[in-house]
Amino acid sequence: MSTSIFFDQSNVELVDICQRWQLTFSEGSAFELKYHNQRLALHKRDEPKVSGIIVDFVGGAVAHRRKFGGGKGQAIAKAVGLKNGNIPSVIDATAGLGRDAFVLASLGCNVTLIERQSVVAALLEDGLKRAYQDPEIGKWMQQRMRLHHGASQNSLNELGIEADVVYLDPMYPHREKSAQVKKEMRLFQTLVGSDDDADELLPPALNIAQKRVVVKRPDYAEYLNGQTPSASIKTKKNRFDLYSVL
Ligand SMILES: C[S@@+](CC[C@H](N)C(=O)[O-])C[C@H]1O[C@@H](n2cnc3c(N)ncnc32)[C@H](O)[C@@H]1O
C-alpha cells in the first residue's frame, strides 16, 4: 500500500528513501518528511514550531533511559519475564517508534520489530541505520534489533520465526485533554490513527509465542480482544497484561 506525503523533491537522499518505502508525493498532505543532517524527520505542516519526530536510539530520551532507567527492574522487563539467567527473544508486533523494543534490546533481548505504517517504518529504519553505526551500541544493535515491514496479522505467521514473547502495544485513544498529550505524540497519533483492528492481533500472537504474550494498555482500557489475561503488572499510567501460553 502506498502512502502519500509531502517532501522536498530536490533532496536526492530523501527522494530515494521515499521511493524505497513507496511514499508518493502529495502537495496537499498534512505531513512532511524532511532529511537533514543524515536524519529523517516527520513534521506536521500546520504546526511548524513542533519539533519533528525522529527515531534516535543513540542520544535523547531513550539513551538516557538505557543508562539510568532502572534496568531489569522496569515493569516492561518484568512483563516479558526478563531476569538473571532468562533473556527472552521478543517479537514486537506493533513496533511504532521502537522505544519499548529498544529498552528490551538494551537489556539483552533479541527483538524483531514489525511495523505496518510505511512512514513509521521509514523513520525506524533510519534510526536503526544510525544506531548500527554507533561505536557504543552499534555492535549489539546489529545483533539484537531487526525491522520487518508488514501487518502483523499476516507477518506473525508468514515470517516463520519463533519467539518466547510476542509484545503488543497498539494505539489506544487517549483520555487526557490533547494539550496534555505531548505535542510530538499527538503528531504520531494523527498519522497512525487508532489501530481499530488491534483485537485481531491476539490470536496469532498466542499462536506464535512460546512463553507469553504481553499487551501494553492504558490503565483504563479494556482487555485486548475481550480476553482476560493470566496476570497484569500495573504502572502509573499503563498496564501490562500477560497471557501465558505455557
Ligand atoms: C502505540 S504505537 C507503539 C509504540 C511502541 N511500543 C514504542 O515504544 O515506540 C503502535 C504502532 O503499532 C503499529 N501497528 C498497529 N497495528 C499493527 C499491525 N497489525 N501490524 C503492524 N504494526 C501495527 C502502528 O502503526 C503504530 O506505529
Q: What is the DSSP letter of 48?
A: T
> CA end-to-end span of the chain, whole Å?
37
The residue to which cell 499527538 is assigned: 186
Categorize the per-residue pLDDT at 43 as very low, low, confident or very high, splitting at 50, 70 and 90. Answer: very high
pTM: 0.94
The string of pLDDT tens digits covering residues 117-153 is: 999 999 999 999 999 999 999 999 999 999 999 999 9
Question: What are the CA-CA distances from residue 182 to residues 29, 114, 171, 190, 236 (Å)?
Answer: 22, 24, 15, 12, 17
Categorize the per-residue pLDDT at 64 as very low, low, confident or very high, splitting at 50, 70 and 90. Answer: confident
- Which residues, judged by CB distance below 6 Å to any ligand atom, belong to the binding site of ligand 1? 94, 96-100, 114-117, 120, 151-153, 169-171, 192, 195, 201
Length of the chain: 246
CA distance 225 to 217: 12
Instruction: Note the pLDDT of residue 151.
Output: 96
Q: What is the Cβ-side half-sphere exposure of residue 155, based on CA atoms within 13 angstroms?
A: 17
Mutate to test the pocket of ligand 1, among 115, 166, 190, 213 (most ligand atoms within 8 A of CB): 115
- Say how many Å lie between the CA of residue 10 and the centre of ligand 1: 31
- Say how many Å lie between the CA of residue 195 and the centre of ligand 1: 8
Question: What are the CA-CA distances from residue 235 to residues 2, 21, 79 (Å)?
Answer: 37, 36, 11
Residue 38, by phi and psi: left (phi above 0), alpha (psi -120 to 50) or beta?
left
Categorize the per-residue pLDDT at 180 as very low, low, confident or very high, splitting at 50, 70 and 90. Answer: low
CA distance 54 to 41: 5
